[in-house]
Amino acid sequence: MKKLFLIGLLSMLVSVKVAEAAAPDEGMWLPMFVERLNYVDMQKMGLKLTAEELYSINNSSIKDAIVSLGGFCTAELVSPEGLLLTNHHCGYSAIQTHSSVEHDYLTDGFWAMKKSEELPNEGLTVTFLHHMEDMTQKILSVVNDDMTEDERSEAIKKEIDKYTKEAEQDGKYVVELKSFFNGNEYYMFVYEEYKDVRLVGAPPSSIGKFGGDTDNWMWPRHTGDFAMFRIYTAPDGSPAEYSEDNIPFKSKHFLPISIKGYKENDFAMIWGFPGTTDRYRTSSAVSATLNEINPAIVKMLRAMLDVQDEEMAKSDKVRIQYASNNASLANFWKNKLGETRDLKRLNVVEKKRQSEKELEKWINADPARKAKYGTVLSDFNEIYSKYTEQNIFPLLWNTQLVFFGSQAFTLPSMSKGIETILKTGVKGEALQKEMQSYREKAEAIFKDYDNTIERRVLVTALEIFRDKIPTNQHPDIYKVINSKFKGDIVKFVDYIFEKSPFLTYDNFNKFLDKPSEKAIKKDLAVEMYNSFVMNFMSVQGGAKELATKNRTTQRLYLAALREMYPDKSFYPDANSTLRMTYGKVISYYPADAVHYDYYTTIEGVMAKENPSDPDFVVPERLKQLYYKKDFGQYAENGTLPVCFLTDNDITGGNSGSPVLDGDGNLIGIAFDGNWEAMSGNILFEPELQRTINVDARYVLWVIDKYAGAKNIMDELTIVK
Ligand code: ARG
């Protein structure tokens, strides 16, 4: 009896302990609410900064060191002179743009040894959050329950435009006013944008992309995934387009870099710009993702990648041309492959159904709730079964994938603009002046365009589309392919690549010399483009009612959920706005009886070396430093740390984000998620989900010992 009681007590204690230890470090929190919602918890976990030092409107704070890089990644200031750290994969497209067979910075890396060598990047911007504001009451004051969903959207859009315009102050700020919690709340983000951002340094891909697409999305990892940029301003410190007269940005706040290291369970927080999550997606929507959307993505992208991979291996020129495009397709493909598997493996649909059942019980327990939310869940089921019946998702997704992976639609999409110019009747020199902008656009497009790849990718895309989508839902171009080319897609594609003005550099330039409406009208590449667009729009138009109803339902669903748990702090889904996530350094069990430690070292780089696999080449210089054990002040236990794990809640867009210790020092840069929790954008898995970070000591070692970039080291503040 006594023994039983003891066991009971013990297991109770154990379960309490487990519950505490497993407190999920889930959540991407809004900076302005950190003090109210998270601060106390963060202090308990090891944060030593004040709330004001994290986010302040009046004084410099952590938020002033964090920028959105081009809207797709995060970067952070690490020097008083505007020096930024981010990921190698975030700088990849810029590095590629500066690369050629003669100067292959992708392969060899790039280091500006003085500021005058830093490379400008047209179109690349960074934005700082100036402040954010809760606009919920203002925005929602113009809507009421009698409005239709369309009236509601219209009214809200008008308000958003009004407040945005006001806050922009005639171009002083870039403003985003966005919906949060599916239209239940609205926040305004006021940003300062800088347009002169230069490349300062990047390791060779054999460090910055070590492991390549083989290791991508996986732990244990050995990638030095970092690159450096610098922000420049006009001489008076204001944002400006690139100019030789510009000067380095004066940082309001920058992050010291700690080489003290960390232990398991140490506090870690990440600030950055996560792109999209869908944590409140319902079971019916997850089913559609699993059965209809992801399979389409995986199938189409893999086939396109196979073509690219094969052709890229044949020529250095083509390898460089397609490096960035290929890496992002491959990244997306592997993400969706893993997401599909984990949605199944982790029973996400079933887990969602369970929580929907709870919600249903809660709704049905009260007549007022029933009146307000009674049909929410059945509405979802109805909406999604109609989507399925009409084959909407495969159709829309396959169309987008064709556009996404094939560049054969890019120039045809510009034919309308040329046609409009021709219709005005301009001739001779005036016409040639108008065509000049198209010549320039073409230079940019064809710089990274290979006829063989594009021809083969188009064949692949058109064939998969034809096989996956029922005939009655095909764009009209398939009728032409059937009648004029006996259904032979290869013949059709060969024909348009030979004849169309819009698919090859030579034909396009010839056309621009003598542009004619007639050539556009009879062109089959243009017809192909138009027919895909028309088809897409008519499907979208047909599904508009469903989409509208879905919006209403999603808003109500989230309102109900939050009403059901009044004491719970909810965080909004990621939407490319600045967020903070906090947690700890921590290992995990990827499978039964398998344990993964929380850090990797250079020993693992050497163990993975394989000179005959491009993903695992180790640079000669790295090996020499390794054999000499020349790790300097960056070593721990006689070796060099490379990557580590935290349980922070991040997603794409967070790439390049700083990992900060309790004192606000940078200890690493976040760059990936892990293979066992690929469904994390839909359901956070506290036991499995990890953030993969490159260790600040590895980054510094590469800059200092490998590259010998003393100029960069001199700018940094190192905490020992
Ligand atoms: N998985 C990383 C992310 O989404 C990108 C890694 C890029 N590397 C690559 N091998 N494609 O942020």
| Distance between CA atoms of residues 326 and 274, nearest Å | 22
Pick from 712, 710, 705: nearest CA to 629: 705
- 239 in contact with ligand 1, CB cutoff 6 A: no
- 651 in contact with ligand 1, CB cutoff 6 A: no
> Cα separations (Å) of 437 from 426, 443, 516?
15, 10, 17
Residue with tokens 């369309």: 150
pLDDT the model gives residue 41: 95
Name 297's Cβ contacts closer than 8 Å, sequence gap at least 6.
332, 333, 336, 397, 401
DSSP conformation class of 170: T
pLDDT the model gives residue 12: 39
pLDDT the model gives residue 441: 94
| Distance between CA atoms of residues 50 and 35, nearest Å | 9
- 323 in contact with ligand 1, CB cutoff 6 A: no
Output the residue whose Cα is nearest ligand 1's atom 2.
672
179 labelled catalytic: no
pLDDT the model gives residue 10: 39
Residue with tokens 């202090």: 43
Output the residue whose Cα is nearest ligand 1's atom 4.
652
328 labelled catalytic: no
153 labelled catalytic: no
Ligand 1: atom nearest CA of 217 is: 1
pLDDT the model gives residue 13: 37
Residues 312 and 88 sit within 8 Å (Cβ to Cβ)? no
Residue 52, both tokens: 């004001």
- 89 in contact with ligand 1, CB cutoff 6 A: yes
Q: What is the largest CA-CA distance in the chain?
A: 103
pLDDT the model gives residue 197: 98
> Cα separations (Å) of 516 from 421, 435, 510, 511, 528?
10, 12, 11, 8, 19
Ligand 1: atom nearest CA of 92 is: 7
Tens of pLDDT along 256-282? 999 999 999 999 999 999 999 999 999
Task: Provide the pairing of β-strand 196-202 with 185-194.
Answer: unpaired
Tens of pLDDT along 608-641? 999 999 999 999 999 999 999 999 999 999 999 9
Q: Residue 558 class from Cβ within 10 Å (0-12 exposed, 13-18 middle, 19+ buried)?
A: buried
* Distance of alpha carbon 635 from the chain centroid: 32
Weakly modelled stretches of the chain, pLDDT under 50: 1-22
Distance 480 CA to ligand 1 centre (A): 40
391: left (phi over 0), alpha (psi -120 to 50) or beta: left
